[in-house]
Amino acid sequence: MISKSGILASQPYFYKYCRQKQPEMNALSIRNLRKTYKNGFEALKGIDLDVKAGDFFALLGPNGAGKSTTIGIVSSLVRKTSGTVEVFGHDLDKEREAAKRCIGLVPQEVNFNQFEKVLDIVVNQAGYYGIRRKEALQRAEECLTQLSLWDKRNSVSRHLSGGMKRRLMIARALVHSPKLLILDEPTAGVDIEIRRSMWEFLRKINQEGTTIILTTHYLEEAENLCRHIAIINHGHIVEHNAMADLLRKLHTNRYILELRNPAPFAPTVEGYQLEPLEDHTLAVDVPMDLGLHGLLDQLAAQGMEVVSLRNAANRLEQLFIDLVENQRIDPARKTA
């Protein structure tokens, strides 16, 4: 999308705040974040989250999990009840202005003035960040062109199609060249073709150095795009992991094996993760594609006879059943 060469880079001023710190730092650091809404509903129950600079990060969770609440607090739209948030090392309470300069937000719902023209929306947003009008126009042209909206620059925003509105929100979020782009369910209700091209676009700007956090309730989307993932449910982070590790975990069944005799030593069997629990019991993680076949034989060969075996509940399982349910009732899914 916006190349870091060209006019944007020629204005290092706007990166000033974001560039003070080391590149290895976290783009986002959340500690013990809580949110209780006015009606007493506790939407976030003390979450921790770390997103590395340069990462492509998914915050996955079913509807009502607390994704938008989290995003809202990070982007100063929602007041936190307690906890701390740092954006590129800038604490939201102490250096809110510097933190804000690092963030570009694509909200879940359309939120621009329906009567304003596309170009004005983007140019004004640049103005709010202190970018002079002449440069704001150049940046707006660049952003709108990259999102294939330049032809629509003089259209009034309410006349845009759903997909165009979504793209306009992305253009608006990028006009001040944020180091961290946050997208709240960017592809919900968007048809598959637009979804694909949006994925491609996001991948590109991530490669060019923008840290991206997106929320989604499609595992497929997170799987396709993201290197790290956190799963949120009922206001708790239930998983915070590299994407690859999560997938491995998801494609693994855990069994508890009951042995006839106490295990004399911790057994190892290639391909399986074994873990002695008590004298007579072993836990084993079995990759779905391997199955149980070789395992029992190999254990027997090591002198361990399995008398019974039961499936241990996978704590992620229920969550994913929820997610899948969610996707089934989402009308957007039908077009996907």
Partner 1 sequence: MHHLIAFKTILFKEIHRFVRIWPQTILPSAITTSLYFLIFGTLIGGRVGPMAGMSYMDYIVPGVILMSVITNAYGNVVASFYSTKFQRNIEELLISPIPNWIILAGYVGGGIARGLAVGGVVAIVGMFFTDVRPAHPGLIASVFFMTAALFSLAGFINAVYANSFDDISIVPNFVLTPLVYLGGVFYSIELLPELWRKVSLANPILYMVNAFRYGFVGISDVDIRTAFLIIGGSISILVAWSLVLLRRGTGLKT
**Which residues of this protein are in contact with partner 1, per CB under 8 A?**
37-38, 72, 75-79, 96-98, 100-101, 103, 105, 107, 109, 111-114, 116, 120, 124-125, 127-133, 172
CA trace torsion 116, 117, 119, 121 (10° rounding): 20
Tell me the C-alpha distance between 67 and 176, whole Å: 24
Beta carbon nearer to ligand ADP, 67 or 172: 67
Dihedrals phi, psi of 273, to nearest 5 degrees? -105, 110
**CB of 107 closer than 8 Å to CB of 184:** yes
Shortest separation between residue 112's beta carbon and ligand ADP, angstroms: 20
169: Cα within 13 Å, side-chain hemisphere:
24
Q: Could you tell me which stretch among 84-92, 103-111, 142-150, 277-285 binds Mg ion (CB under 5 A)?
A: 103-111
Tell me the C-alpha distance between 61 and 179, whole Å: 24
Amino acid at 336: A
- State whether residue 104 is helix, strand or coil: strand
69 to 108: interface string for ligand ADP, x by CB under 6 A: x---------------------------------------
- 211-230: contacts with ligand ADP (CB under 6 A): none
Is residue 63 near ligand ADP by the rule CB under 6 A? Answer: yes
86 binds, among Mg ion, partner 1, ligand ADP, none (CB under 5 to 8 A by kind): none
Residue 219's alpha-carbon distances to 35, 68, 148, 250, 317, in angstroms, are 25, 17, 27, 11, 13
Beta carbon nearer to partner 1, 124 or 241: 124
**CB of 250 closer than 8 Å to CB of 316:** yes
Beta carbon nearer to partner 1, 65 or 131: 131
Is residue 66 near ligand ADP by the rule CB under 6 A? Answer: yes
Contact residues: ligand ADP, CB under 6 A: 37, 39, 41, 43, 61, 63-69
